[in-house]
Chain A
Amino acid sequence: MITCRRCHAVHLEGTLFCDQCGSPLVSMADEAPGEAAPPTGKIKSDFFTSKEAGNETMVAQEPTSAEAIQEGATGKLQLTVPSTGRVFRLPARGQVLIGRRDSLAGVFPDLDLTPEGAVAMGVSRSHALITIDETGSYVEDLNSLNHTHLNRERLVPHQPRALRAGDELQLGRLAIRVESALGP
């Protein structure tokens, strides 16, 4: 049996998603030893709230004092693309879809890497998902064609992994550094 690590509902082996909370389920047999646990708490996304307020590029915004990033094991995070020097600040909580914009296909990721040469670098439209909640930050590959690597280890699709300052992400061939955010 598999126990959902978010809501603790019990499911048969091989079940792909929890029917109670929708979380992807990971068989115990598939879990790598020592792997950090994915988010277990209730996600309180403030991403949409902020977007409604008109912040179009949520992740590139400096958080306001109302969105103070929680101090914790992961600290405050920002993503830096060394090839272009762009810096994206992650929200205090919520989810950030990373990929490349394709208006014909109706894909509008929160963090659009098109200006970073996403097509040439093999970034999928919906490449990876970062989730930030009270337990930490996590990155999940969304079954991208050219894969997501965390510290040079290829991520198993749909299995969230903990994300910390100092980590190196690679989406396709595009490298991204995970850093502690500067400032308040």
Chain B
Amino acid sequence: MSDEKAAAIELKVACDKSSLPSLAEDQMLYALAAISATGYVSPTRVPLNLCLVLDHSSSMHGEKLKQVKESAKYITHQMRSGDRLTLVVFSDRAKTLIVQLGGTAAQTTSQLIDAVEARGGTEIYAGLTHGLEAARKQQTDAFGNHVVLLTDGHTYGDEQNCLEAARAAREAGIFLTVLGVGTEWNDEFLTDLATAGGGVLEYIDSPRKIAEVFQAHLRNMQTIYAREANLHVRPAEGVRLKDACRVSPYITNLTREDASMVSFRGSGPIGLGYGERDLPPGGDWSSPCQKMGAQATAPMEHSFRLGHLGQEADQAFLLELIVSPQATPICRLAHVRLDYLPPDDDVEKSLEAEVILPTVTNSQVEIDHKVRDVVERVTAFRLQEKAWVSAQAGDIPQATRLLKAASTRLLSLGESELSQAVFAEAQQMERTGQTSNIAMKRIKYGTRGLIPFLPRLFSRRNK
């Protein structure tokens, strides 16, 4: 039977301006590139090879472990024919608890999960390598291969090994999602780990939300409509890509892990505006503005690895383009292309879109307020990110100033509750000279989830 319709994939581009004023100087143009699937993706279309790597160290005691166990049991019942599920638990050491082939959980599954107790320390490398190896054993090319790591704590001394393992797995087609529960986990390390593994880091502030997050990730993995997707951005001559960041499903800086560049004219690479902590030691990719010299006008293609795309998490990217006066008569400012493999076919497909704007000589330029809204949200996100960097460097006055600026933007966006939380943290920091771990995570992961439901961005008005 086949009343299933393959998902139609769309690549849309919208700019912050209706036209480009003709200027004698460089100007900024914001373009929003969004990828989404319309139509129905059958949950059975993409067989799943899923490995859950669950922390059961002593800090998981109580409600956290209880919710994790319930979620694991739920997932064993959501597997379908052709799926493969491996359940790994770890503390100081790791072991495989369950290997489930197909959609039927064994009768002993629930008992095995219930028997897991909280004890020991947190050695993420032990759990991660065990989980990745388990995923590798079950891996075939036709499967969506995912490892989901859930932890609530710090790991010590094995961070670099974890990153290398995640990177190698990604190269082998296994993607890693990281779920941080509570407030004690190492935010910076787990962010890097998720990035290295080609997935996302999700913050779960309350044990009650564990099940919900697991279910959402499972739905996304079961509705993959594009595999091994790559987004390519090729600015026209006289146009440069200053910065690019993902704005949906979360606002995140794109890192070196995501990007590569190819010159079409053989000139040297130009820089992208990566987050400061992503800079390599030589800083060659840093200082986007400093690298915008005259020699950098040759067309360059910037490529971003997106991994597998699931229907539950539409992807969108904000591209910041610098348009020089030489480029303005062209109108065609950038070419955006998405390459991907369909879920059930190994023949690569492509979608293309152009950033095209008419040039006008007067100042009657209409602003697209939906794109402007996205830019404002990204601005709030970046301000709070800079605040944490300043706080870590001991510059509390600068950190509080940046947090208050972020608070103002959030207020303007109507995000009153988050705005108040940010302002309260700024005041707290001013009084005590210290940052609160809980507030930092709440603000950081609150601001990165600020982008409204994506289809609204391309509808007419949403007020």
B420 near A22: Cβ-Cβ < 8 Å = no
Is the Cβ of B27 less than 8 Å from the Cβ of A12? yes
A-chain residues with CB within 8 Å of residue B404 when the two chains form the complex: 43, 45
Looking at the complex, which one of B21, B30, B405, B463 makes contact with A22 (CB distance below 8 Å)? B405
B417 touches A108 (CB 8 A): yes
Contact of A29 among B16, B17, B21, B412 (CB under 8 A): B21
A4 CB to nearest B CB, Å: 11
* Stretch of A61-69, A76-84, A140-148, A161-169 at the chain-chain interface: A140-148
In the bound complex, do residue B322 and residue A16 qualify as a contact, i.e. CB atoms below 8 Å apart? no
B279-291 to A contact mask, C-beta < 8 Å, 1/0:
0000000000000
Rounded to whole angstroms, the CA-CA distance of A128 and B407 in the bound complex is 16
B424 within 8 A of A: yes
In the complex, the chain B residue whose C-beta lies closest to that of A108 is B416
Which one of B98-106, B168-176, B213-221, B375-383 is at the A interface?
A: B375-383
Q: B29: nearest residue on chain A (CB-CB)?
A: A14
Q: Assuming A30-B363, A97-B414, A158-B372, is B383 touching A145 (CB within 8 A)?
A: no
The A/B interface has a contact count, at CB < 8 Å, of 102
B2, chain A: closest CB distance, angstroms: 39
Q: A145, B416: Cβ atoms under 8 Å?
A: no
CB-defined interface of B367-397 with A at 8 Å, one 1/0 digit per residue? 1010011011001101100000000000000
One of A46-54, A113-121, A175-183 at the interface: A46-54
B406 at the interface (CB under 8 A from A): yes
Contact A21 B405, beta carbon cutoff 8 Å: yes
Note all chain A residues with C-beta closer than 8 A to B382: 19
Residues in chain B within 8 A of chain A (CB atoms): 16-17, 21, 23, 25-30, 322-323, 363, 367, 369, 372-373, 375-376, 379-380, 382-383, 401, 404-409, 411-417, 420, 423-424, 427, 461, 463
A sample of 15 inter-chain contacts (CB < 8 A) reads A13-B23, A13-B25, A14-B21, A15-B28, A16-B16, A16-B28, A16-B372, A19-B382, A21-B401, A52-B424, A97-B416, A108-B416, A124-B463, A142-B412, A145-B461
- Residue numbers of A with Cβ under 8 A of B are 1, 11-17, 19, 21-24, 27, 29-30, 42-43, 45, 48-49, 51-52, 95, 97, 99, 106-110, 124-126, 129, 140, 142-145, 157-158
